[in-house]
């Protein structure tokens, strides 16, 4: 079974992905792939610099994530431009990793894809697991983790589909408002239901 793990920004996808890894499930991590495809001198990073200017680059040749983030989380048109450049490369590499895990005999693979619904990638997976969170808890965890102002954190949250839409499209939902142990219990229950554990 290919499981699509998604949710909203700072809802706890990485936290749940780590739990799944500890349960011996292989993970394809879209955020990590998104970092890999913009390595210094990569064609994707060159396109980003051609579009957003030299400020998108640090002097050591790595992408200036803060600068690009400020641009795209506040301006939908710029976000679309970045998505058009970077998403094809991300998709190709995610599918390569998924298929490699399957070829190597893994019965189940987890794909951690923050924008699964926004990018309409439902067809990449067999079942969709949404990590849900209440908006006030999400806001405070996001502000704390990324040291963001309330305004910047809200801009990031609003750049994604509402949680209610994602919950409706899910085969299973985990609520990550409490402590990690409560979340782990829900995860194990769901995976048993799906005959993954």
Ligand X SMILES: Nc1ncnc2c1ncn2[C@@H]1O[C@H](COP(=O)(O)OP(=O)(O)OP(=O)(O)O)[C@@H](O)[C@H]1O
Ligand Y SMILES: CC(C)(COP(=O)(O)OP(=O)(O)OC[C@H]1O[C@@H](n2cnc3c(N)ncnc32)[C@H](O)[C@@H]1O)[C@@H](O)C(=O)NCCC(=O)NCCS
Q: Which part of the chain contacts ligand Y (CB under 6 A), choosing from 75-83, 137-145, 165-173, 180-188?
A: 75-83
Determine if 189 is a binding residue for ligand X (CB under 6 A).
no
What is the DSSP pairing of strand 27-29 with strand 172-175? Answer: unpaired
Site string for ligand X, 108-147 (x = CB under 6 A): ------x--------------------------x---x--
Kindly tell me which of 118 and 126 has the beta carbon lying closer to ligand Y. Answer: 118
Which member of 118, 180, 184, 196 binds ligand X (CB under 6 A)? 180
Which member of 9, 34, 38, 173 binds ligand X (CB under 6 A)? 9
Measure the CA angle with vertex 91, ends 87 and 92; round to 5°: 120
- 10 known member of a binding site: yes
Token pair 């998604």 in the structure block, residue: 6
Helix axis angle, 180-193 to 13-22, nearest 10°: 60
- Token digits of residue 36: 């890999």
- Token digits of residue 3: 């499981």
- 77 known member of a binding site: no
Task: Please give the size of the binding site for ligand X, defined by CB under 6 A.
Answer: 16
* Residue 15 near which of ligand Y, ligand X, none (CB within 5-8 Å, type-dependent): ligand X
Q: How far is the CB of 151 from ligand Y (least distance, A)?
A: 15
Residues 6+ apart with CB under 8 A from 85: 44, 47, 48, 51
* Residue 160 near which of ligand Y, ligand X, none (CB within 5-8 Å, type-dependent): ligand Y
Determine if 65 is a binding residue for ligand Y (CB under 6 A).
yes
Kindly tell me which of 60 and 151 has the beta carbon lying closer to ligand X. Answer: 151
Rounded CA gap, 5 and 20, in Å?
10
Which member of 3, 5, 10, 191 binds ligand X (CB under 6 A)? 10
- 119 known member of a binding site: no
Determine if 114 is a binding residue for ligand Y (CB under 6 A).
yes
Binding residues for ATP: 10-15
């Amino acid at each position: 079974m290919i499981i699509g793990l998604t949710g909203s920004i700072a809802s706890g996808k990485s936290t749940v992905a780590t739990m799944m890894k500890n349960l011996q499930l292989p993970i394809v991590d879209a955020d990590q792939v998104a970092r890999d495809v913009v390595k210094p001198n990569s064609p994707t990073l060159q396109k980003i610099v051609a579009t957003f200017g030299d400020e998108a680059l640090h002097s050591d040749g790595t992408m200036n994530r803060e600068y690009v983030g400020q641009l795209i989380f506040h301006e939908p048109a710029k976000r679309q431009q970045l998505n058009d450049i970077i998403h094809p490369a991300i998709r190709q590499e995610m599918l390569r990793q998924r298929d490699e895990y399957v070829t190597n005999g893994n019965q189940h693979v987890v794909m951690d894809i923050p924008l699964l619904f926004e990018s309409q990638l439902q067809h990449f997976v067999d079942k969709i697991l949404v990590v849900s969170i209440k908006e006030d808890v999400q806001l405070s965890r996001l502000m704390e983790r990324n040291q963001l102002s309330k305004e910047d954190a809200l801009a990031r949250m609003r750049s994604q589909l509402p949680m209610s839409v994602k919950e409706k499209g899910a085969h299973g939902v985990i609520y990550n408002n409490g402590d990690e142990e409560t979340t782990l219990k829900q995860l194990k229950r769901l995976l048993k239901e799906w005959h993954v554990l």
